[in-house]
Structure 1
Amino acid sequence: MTTNDTIVLVTGATGHVGGHAVDRLLRDGFRVRAVVRDPGQEAAVRGRAPHAGQRLEVVAAELVADDGWDKAMSGVRYVWHHASPFPGGQPRTNDEVIVPARDGTVRVLAAARDAGVERVVLTSSYAAVGYTLKPGGHYDESDWTDPDDDLSAYVRSKVAAERAAWTFVRDHGGPELAVINPTGIFGPLLDARLSASTGLVKAFLDGTMPVVPRMYFGVVDVRDVVDLHLRAMTDPGAAGQRFLAVGGPAISFHEMSRLVGREVVELTDEQVREGARTDPALREAARLGGRIPVISNDKARRVLGWQPRPVERTITDTAASLLALG
């Protein structure tokens, strides 16, 4: 087998996307330098890639500190920046989430520039594109979420981080930048570690979410998100562009539960609005009011030749992997 000496640095390597990214890059023959927050996480990264051998290196660096980034970037040609804070509960202040997401992204870009990295592929989010309501509800890469809207700290952090990334490369030069904006990321797990999205499917399977709001959202398979990163890493047409990643038409919680063979109760819009008065978890659903967004993946298909899996297959594959893991 031909050895590829190209080193790709992957941040957030312990996450759902990061784990699949490491696996795909290794299988495609690249050398991977995986970044973790704590050296103790190396075993988890290597456990997902038992076939890696010496082509996988694990290093420690944090988004909130400069230490370790110069060494991490040494000899790297491409960077996939996935890492971003995701609050497990309600943060005390928005800045607890926004500041490390924004400043960490700039820190990674600055280190990449100083090391002579060719291109950075940033994992942003649909949250940075389509969380501001607009007539007709059609969204593409020209849209931006207004951070002044009544939004969660996480959504604001994704807007702030992506805006900061584009500003940095405009004002300071450095690596080429391509941005991927995925919708809800589902797809099979590599181990028992759950993401927020795969945890939702698990909740349907084990019956811990018997009631859902009427809410529609985009779905994309983690394997297709990684494939889009790979295309954006090497295609000349991806430089300076952002790409929405969605597998097909938006789906509701209720429809998703049926795909995995479970039936749940769907609240009416009025019930959601009433519940949102006391339950912060329902406020986003209340704000959307049952609207069905129309999210375009035409650009990724046209520019990069991307062909995502159908949403239904992604959800059933997610459920199958959860059941296989017990």
Structure 2
Amino acid sequence: MTKRVVVVTGGSGFIASQIILQLLQQGYAVRTTVRSLQKADLIRQMLATGGVTDLTDLEVTTADLTSDANWSTVMRGATYAIHVASPTPNRVFKDENDMIRPAVAGVRRVLTAARDAGVKRVVLTSAYGAIFAGHPHRTTPYTERDWSDVTAKGVHAYQKSKTLAEQAAWAFIKREGHGMELAAVNPVGVMGPVLADDYSHSNVQIYQLLTGQLKAVPHVDSGYVDVRDVASLHLLAMTAPEAAGERFLATTGETLSMLDVATLLRQAFPAFATRLPTRTIPNAVVKAAAWIKPELKMIASIVGTYAGTSNAKAVKLLGWQPRSAQTAILATAQSMIDLGIVTAP
């Protein structure tokens, strides 16, 4: 029997690599895209770390979100596509459209190629950033019904890019989808085991904490979720009939501060205790520093803001059961120690 082909964009990414791992384990054939085939060895390395060494059903090919080249070939014969690739949050930019335009154009490019190839359903990796931004007086948990207000003052370009890209995807499906289905997954802070020393921007916080780079931390609250559970939610969104036309907030429903994360790490890894901060930085100091250091603008835009989330929809509709935030955070740290990315004092 011929295996169903699933296209996964951006295969060398933190979330994408876990999605590929689970697809191969569940018997799918995977065709994944990278901007350069130099990333192919990294993908194989990560899959081996994750326990998959038989890569007979994996094809790695090149395609770039900024070009039409090769996308029609990438999608040929695929039943499903999972669009994970997106411009990485660049903390320093002259024009926010440099981040927004590629994200929106990339989504349309992938959806057009998928539709033309007869793909049944596309799952879009969106973000919590498309849900929470621009709501300064929030007091109740965010859900899938919420959208970031990109017109609000102080919303970072990354949150705008994720919001406008997801909105472009839903508009495309409505006007030009010709029956193709779409589901979206919106993860909060993604933790969990890293599979190589080329790790995601979402794990940088753990690296900085364990290496003693943060003497004090900003007052930033966040939801957290394990990358393995983000991947499993993508697969549920890909196949469940009831997931068509829906978006799913990938969160444990817990909210932790950066100081809470440091405390968890101190308790679990006492050898690193002397490096881990015990103080917070006043919000006003963080905001003032962002004027001097543009790379702090994204953090400054969210200090002191409410970050409660609900996973009720994914749990009830799809039967999704995520690990705890603590499990996800400690798995990140343990994997970094195991891979030698960080070493104890």
The residue number in structure 1 matching 2:99 is 97
SS in 1 for 2:292: coil
Tell me the secondary structure at the aligned position of residue 92 of structure 1. coil
Classify the secondary structure of the residue corresponding to 1:319: helix
Counterpart residue identity of residue 81, structure 2: V
Taking the aligned partners of 1:267 and 1:301, their CA distance within structure 2 comes to 36
> Which residue number in structure 2 is paired with residue 55 of structure 1?
57
Q: Distance in 2 between matches of 1:285 and 1:54?
A: 42
**Deviation of residue 292 (structure 1)?**
3.0
The match for 1:27 is 25
In the alignment, is the contact (CA less than 8 A) between 2:33 and 2:63 conserved in 1? yes
Task: Give yes or no for the alignment of 1:85 onto 2:83.
Answer: no
- Asked if the contact 2:91–2:295 (Cα under 8 Å) also holds between the matched residues in 1, the reply is no
Shift of 1:237: 0.5
Report how far residue 280 of structure 1 moved: 3.5
Instruction: Give the root-mean-square deviation of aligned CA atoms.
Output: 1.6
Summarize the Cα distance change of 1:124–1:60 in structure 2 as closer, same or farther, 3 Å threshold: same
In structure 1, the partner of 2:197 is 192
Q: 1:277: Cα distance to partner?
A: 4.1
Cα shift at 1:166: 0.3
Shift of 1:285: 4.7
Of the three residues 259, 262, 265, the one matched with 1:260 is 265
Of residues 173-182 and 267-276 in structure 1, the stretch that sits farther from structure 2 once superposed is 267-276
Residue 116 of structure 1 corresponds to 118
Structure 1 278/167 Cα, relative in aligned 2: closer, same or farther at 3 Å? same
2-side partners of 1:66 and 1:275: how far apart?
40
1:122 match: secondary structure? strand
Q: Say whether 1:152 aligns with 2:156.
A: yes
Q: Which amino acid aligns with 2:45?
A: G
Paired residue type of 2:181: E
Structure-2 change in CA distance of 1:194 and 1:171 (3 Å): same
Q: CA deviation at 1:274?
A: 3.8
Q: Distance in 1 between matches of 2:23 and 2:16?
A: 11
8 A contact 2:240–2:318 mirrored in 1: yes
Structure 1 unaligned spans of 5+: none
1:319, 1:85 → 2: CA distance?
25
Alpha-carbon offset, residue 294 of structure 1: 1.5
Per the TM alignment, residue 225 of structure 1 is displaced from its structure 2 partner at its CA by 0.2
Matched, 1:167 2:171: yes
The alignment-based identity, stated in percent, is 39
SS where residue 79 of structure 1 aligns?
Answer: strand
Kept in 1, the 8 Å contact 2:218–2:303? The answer is no
Query: Does 1:225 find its partner at 2:256?
Result: no
1:11-57 per-residue CA deviation (whole Å, 9 max, x = no partner) reads 01111001111111111111000111112222222222342332000
CA contact (8 A) 2:3 2:29 kept: yes
TM-score, normalised via structure 1 length:
0.95
| 1:146 shift after superposition | 1.0
Quote how far apart the aligned CAs of 1:92 are.
2.0
**Equivalent-residue separation in structure 2 for 1:140 and 1:173 (angstroms):** 25
- Find the aligned partners of 1:281 and 1:258 in 2 and give their Cα distance: 25
Separation in 2, partners of 1:233, 1:223: 15
Q: TM-score, normalised by structure 2?
A: 0.90
* 2:188 maps to 1:183: yes
Gaps of 5+ in 2: 267-272, 341-345
Letter paired with 1:226 = A
CA distance in structure 2 between the aligned counterparts of 1:39 and 1:288, rounded to whole angstroms:
36
Distance 1:41 1:269, change over 3 A: closer
2-side partners of 1:285 and 1:172: how far apart? 37
Number of the residue aligned with 1:9:
7
Amino acid at match of 1:6: R
Q: 1:190: how far off?
A: 1.1
Aligned to 2:327, the other structure's residue is in SS state helix
Among 322, 336, 342, which residue is 1:308 paired with? Answer: 322
Counterpart Cα distance in 1 of 2:230 and 2:327: 15
Residue type at the aligned position of 1:258: T
- Contact 2:156/2:301 (<8 A) preserved: no
Residues 4 and 30, structure 1, Cα contact 8 Å, conserved in 2: no
Count, aligned residues: 324
Structure 2: distance between partners of 1:258 and 1:187: 17
